Structure 1
Amino acid sequence: MNDDRPRQGTATAVGLTRLSRRWLVFLLAITAVLSAGVGLLAGRVFDQSEIIRPENSMAEIPVYATVENRTVDDRLTYSGVIKAGPAVPIQIDVEGQEPMVVRQTLKAGDTLEWGDLAGVVSGKPYFVLPAPLPLYRDLARGDEGDDVLALQRALMQIGYLSHESGHLDGATMEAASSFFASEGFTLSSGRIPSGQIQQVEPGATPESPETGDSISPAVSIPFRQLIGLPVARATIVSALGIGQKVTDQSPLATVQTQENFVEFVADVEQAGSLRVGQDVTVRIAEKQVPGRITEVGPFTDAGNGRRAGNPVTVEPTATADLALLTPNLSVTVAGQGSTAQALAVPLSGIRQDAEGTYVLSRRGGDGDSGDQAMRVPITVLRSGGGFAAVSGELSQGDEVRIS
């Protein structure tokens, strides 16, 4: 009995092992069948045509832009800056006296003109006359020379003399005396006594203090008190007040002899197309200011924050627009060209081949019919701002392919 038990246990174990193998084979078969079924079902559900293949993912997608009627500005533009006109100091020579300002009616922003009184320093009047004024000596009756001629021409320009000769005659002395008397002074710079100041019109001769007396031969015209001004009208930038001293560093006044202006730098090629008198447009903030080129300077090398090129000066054509020229303000200058409206397409839509210039166009509203673009020959009229004004068989609302 004892010998049969081990044999029975061994037989039972072998049977179980064979049974387990059968179930394992069966399960594997079932799994294979299910996998095949799932694959077949997936193949039917998902259309293979919808799978994005690598070659399809690289296909170009056409992009279109609408033909529109718009302004195409083909003018060249330049970046410029507003600059202040040059300032000139009014320096005086007080002949060693204490240079104290005792009368001053000028203030910043005022206009100084030929013949005006620039100020009274240490009791002496200082006038501005047309430059050049090459005076180097006090002038008395009978003097001759180029300095006399220059003084006569200056007095003629402000209306106090009617002739020039280069000889300082009685008429010239009378004109100079009348000029000084217009501000209440004599040629000797002595103050006219109160109550004797005459209102003298330009060209008129003041009456002598004593009837029948003429200007003394000893009286001279003080050249140091006559200052040449290069322009007929200048704007006061600054002026010393009463009680202030005149020095080399603090002139009697400083004047701006030229209005503010616009300057831009053009390269060599651009400068070749620019000329003095050419009309331009200056864009100051949101305002368009008509201007005119007044100077095309010589080529200058780069330096001090300035690029190489030809400096070009522009001034407004209307005097009223000068008030808009604030120094150091950046502006844009537009040259000559056309700004008319026309049918326009983006520059990226312009194509060219051996047959000419064309666009690929489709009628507006055909966006759902696929890429049905057709070749349409065109002529480019002008371009600017990323668009081209064109002519051809195009209509507003059509679409042109840009990619």
Structure 2
Amino acid sequence: MLHPWRIGVFTVVMILILVASFVAGSLVRRPESTALENRDTTVPVTARAEMREVQEVLALKGSVVSGTTVPIPDLNSGASGPTVVTDIAVGPGDSLAPGTYIGAIAGRPQIVIGDDVPLYRDLKLNDAGSDVARLQKALRRMGYQGVPVTGRIEAVTLEAVRLIYANAGLETPGKTKNDTTFRWLDFVQIPGDSGRVVQASAVASHVSRDAPLVLVQTSPNTIAARALILQADRLPPGTQLRLKWPSGESSSTVEAVSRLLPGDAAATKPPGKDVSIKLPDQAAGLPPGQEVDISLPTEGKAVLAVPLISIQRDAGGAFVEVLRRADEPSSTSASPPAPRKVKITIKAQAAGWAEIEADPSLPAGTEVRVP
């Protein structure tokens, strides 16, 4: 038989347990409830401007390319006649300029003259024409300043012609000054008026289209590399580069950048632009086809930089939102400070950072907002 007081005690205990469970349940919150309440809360992400190295990464493969060469004489015009070499006065490495005696083919001298002189006829005393005027200008450039530009062959013009032969150790045409003849077939021309001999025929050999008297290089060897569009845009003429090849390394500069070119059919070159780089003296002995590694020089200096993820853009250009400058005290307010828009000028980018121009309103240590 249950006593009434026991029933009362049991009832009170059960009531207390239920009350405690209710109170505990009201204090414990489900994770889903917390997430729902915080769904509109923005957690600010910030970064800082820093003094650091921002080295652009550039890695290109280039190769040595031969300069332009021209045959002397140019037999592609269809000229015919004796082809035996009877004299050769220059060899590989020699420089050629107006007045240089190269050699002789079938006894006929081959002397360099200015490339703007029309060569098509012999000229003697009192002959006149525009070709005479150009010949006289060419003679003056060669150092014969006493030759007047009259457009008419005079004794002083013929005397300069005689001296060209005499200085080359050749017999001068004509017995006297007045009967000297400018024999146009004795003269040859080089584009740009100068060059370097890379190949010369031997005496008793025969010249042909494939074996000229001399092969002349009129422009120096260069280094060529195909760059992607974004890479080429960072390499305007004058840009300093670092070159490295198996036997050495040196610095050089960009000479020219081509227009946009398509990729080749063999897929060895992607679409992009060809970058022409001056061949430094240290690499003068590299043969055409030699591969060269190309990179930007390492400066190793710290510059003002901000993370790329903090940079925003609008119609006015690039900017960052400054929350607090390095020399400003931390805010004691519960709400974060309103960001201030500061325009920036980007000078270089690398490894997630952007070098920017120095700005008094954006010193190193400035806190910026990451959007």
Q: How would you bin the TM-score normalised by the shorter chain?
A: 0.5 to 0.7
* 1:243 equivalent in alignment to 2:204: yes
Query: How do 1:4-403 residues align onto structure 2 when only pairs under 5 Å count?
Result: 73-74=55-56, 76-91=58-73, 97-162=81-146, 163-188=148-173, 214-217=176-179, 219-276=180-237, 278-285=238-245, 286-293=248-255, 295-303=256-264, 305-316=268-279, 320-321=281-282, 323=284, 325-334=286-295, 339-342=299-302, 384=350
Deviations 1:22-42 (A, max 9, x none): xxxxxxxxxxxxxxxxxxxxx
Q: In structure 2, what is the Cα distance between the partners aligned to 1:70 and 1:322?
A: 34
CA contact (8 A) 1:130 1:229 kept: yes
CA contact (8 A) 2:232 2:257 kept: yes
How much has 1:92 moved relative to structure 2?
5.9
How much has 1:119 moved relative to structure 2?
0.6
Q: In structure 2, what is the Cα distance between the partners aligned to 1:232 and 1:103?
A: 22
CA RMSD of aligned residues (A): 4.0
Q: In structure 2, what is the Cα distance between the partners aligned to 1:352 and 1:307?
A: 33
Larger radius of gyration: 1
Q: How many residues align?
A: 274
Q: In structure 2, what is the Cα distance between the partners aligned to 1:136 and 1:386?
A: 66
Deviations 1:91-138 (A, max 9, x none): 167985422212113222222233111112222211112213321111
Q: In structure 2, what is the Cα distance between the partners aligned to 1:273 and 1:352?
A: 23
TM-score (normalizing by structure 2): 0.61
CA contact (8 A) 1:260 1:322 kept: no
TM-score (normalizing by structure 1): 0.57
Q: In structure 2, what is the Cα distance between the partners aligned to 1:132 and 1:322?
A: 34
Deviations 1:224-265 (A, max 9, x none): 111111234422111110111112222111011111112222
Q: In structure 2, what is the Cα distance between the partners aligned to 1:118 and 1:182?
A: 13
Q: In structure 1, what is the Cα distance between the partners aligned to 2:120 and 2:311?
A: 77
Deviations 1:251-294 (A, max 9, x none): 11101111111222233444445433x2321312252313242x
Q: Secondary structure at the match of 2:177?
A: coil
Q: In structure 2, what is the Cα distance between the partners aligned to 1:292 and 1:81?
A: 14
Q: In structure 2, what is the Cα distance between the partners aligned to 1:303 and 1:216?
A: 61
Structure 1 residues 122 and 95, CA, compared in 2 at 3 Å: closer, same or farther?
Answer: farther
Deviations 1:122-166 (A, max 9, x none): 222111122133211111122222221222222122213443222
Q: In structure 2, what is the Cα distance between the partners aligned to 1:233 and 1:381?
A: 41
